[in-house]
Amino acid sequence: MANALAVSAQPKFGERPKLVVGIVVDQMRWDYLSRYYEQFQQDGFRRLTDKGFSCDNCLINYLPTVTSIGHASVYTGSTPAFHGICGNTYFDNGHKTYCTEDTTVNAVGTDNQRYGQMSPCNLLATTIGDQLRLHTDFASKVIGVSYKDRAAILPAGRAANAAYWLDPKNGQFITSTYYMTELPEWVNQMNRQLKQNKELKKVGEKIGYTPLCGTITTDMAIAALRGEQLGQGEHTDMLCISYSQTDVIGHEWGTRGQHTDEAYLQLDKDIARLLRALDEHVGRGQYLLFLTADHGGAHNDQFLQDHRLAAGKWHEPAMKDSVEAYVARQLGNSQPVIQMELDYRFFLDRQSIAAQGLDFEQVKAAVVAGARQLPHVQFVVDYERATQQGVPAIISQRALMGYHLRRSGDVLVVLEPGYYVYGYWSIPTGTTHGGWNPYDAHIPLLFYGWQIPEGHTSREVYITDIAPTVCQLLHIQQPNACVGEAITEITK
């Protein structure tokens, strides 16, 4: 009966929702849906789980699992190998690059150019929103909203009407000249309200460490909904929302405890408020919504050790130095050959290698051998030989899906379960992410609203399946580097 209902509910050509809403909750583990279920109110997360469709086994199918890659992959239906977003920061032909940095544009809404010189210029593939805009001859509106610049910009895509993110120094939503030369009046009005927000004044630049960040993001999303009259025109519009405070709080305080509990219970209230606004402005059943995450997060290593579980920290600088020393012993070089170790990847310094007259392949082989000597390393992958090294298929395949020729580095290390890179983003009480393991790669995926049946599936689906599913429901072409497949339980 459930399958029959799913089939009969599917849209015909020409039928579309008034609005598509994409929600990404940064660092949300899949099991949080059950962990907090009894504490969630009826009209927030539980409305999505109980009245929508849940893909209970949605996995990330590339490495590493980090924020910018996750956001890009959700909306492109692709992976770093194709969409080119290979990390929050990565080396592009030897030049260190932030994923959305763009020095050809200027900040709009702030004097802090460092926060505002951003655009989707590094994104190589189209998004759901780009395809929607193309399909309607750019009549559809696509807007991105988040605390983080990358979480607003990458989901909305290159053809978006606008993306807005928060400048934490002045507590204002900003954008760049990639989109416009001045902020719309509805954004100015929102910013005037933020200037009067006493709670925001109290926390200041630490806003990302508080549940208030999610509340303000929701305020901005509702302001965009009304200010741009999304879902009120002839064509389907799209609103991309990313909640980032959950990631900041997770890095600082981990997956357990008061701070994380408060973050998700407040987010539940904010999502309920967003749904009520969508019901009022667009109409219940008139919008298509999905909610997912860009990655999960490991339990704090000390927390695991305290309960006799294998876990620990992996210090990148020390590991890099150890591999450098190993290479020098093998090849006799006097200068470093590794540019940086970043997100479990070694980026080799081609200029240094050439200047010392070293053979690149010999250097890389030595780096691989040196990395294999490091503590708690389970596998080492030379990207260009990923399928030839006796590495399990699940690792080699995800490594290749995350490998871009000019942006992903040269050698990937995979740590034992429970071990993770330790740095300022994962202080003693906090955590981080990046691995293939379920704690980092198993994410929630909920669909709700227009033509979505109630139910769930335990079938394995992937983060890259989200975009083709939405596009098939809309009867528009998939993004141009899409490698995912539409989820048949929803689209058949």
Instruction: Identify whether the C-beta of residue 156 lies closer than 8 Å to the C-beta of residue 133.
Output: no
Order of strands, sheet of 58-59, starting from the edge strand that comes earlier in the sequence = 442-443, 58-59, 461-462
Catalytic annotation present for 104: no
- At 178 the three-state DSSP class reads coil
Gap between the Cα atoms of 26 and 32, Å rounded: 12
Residue-by-residue DSSP string for 308-347: T---EEEEHHHHHHHHHHHHHHHH--SS--EEEEETTEEE
Sign of CA dihedral 184, 243, 340, 429: positive
In the block, residue with structure tokens 């949300």: 28
Q: Which among 8, 113, 33, 132 has a CA at the least distance from the CA of 456?
A: 33
Beta strand pairing call for 58-59 and 461-462? parallel
State the DSSP H helix or E strand holding residue 469, giving kind and residue range, or none if neither: helix 466-474
- At 227 the three-state DSSP class reads helix
Gap between the Cα atoms of 479 and 82, Å rounded: 11
Tokens of residue 333, six digits: 């070089």
Q: Which among 316, 288, 278, 306 has a CA at the least distance from the CA of 469?
A: 288
Q: CA 60 → CA 306, 360, 459, distances in Å? A: 29, 32, 14
Tokens of residue 273, six digits: 């408020």
- Which region holds residue 434: left if phi is over 0, alpha if psi is between -120 and 50, else beta? left
Q: At residue 486, what are phi and psi to the nearest 5 degrees?
A: -60, 140
Count of positions (residues) in the chain: 492
Contacts of 100 (CB under 8 A, 6+ apart): 68, 118, 119, 120, 121, 122, 149, 150, 153, 154
Other C-beta atoms closer than 10 Å to the C-beta of 280 total 12
Instruction: Identify whether the C-beta of residue 109 lies closer than 8 Å to the C-beta of residue 172.
Output: yes
Active-site entry in 49, 67, 76, 126: 67
Instruction: Identify whether the C-beta of residue 176 lies closer than 8 Å to the C-beta of residue 183.
Output: no
Residues assigned a catalytic role: 67
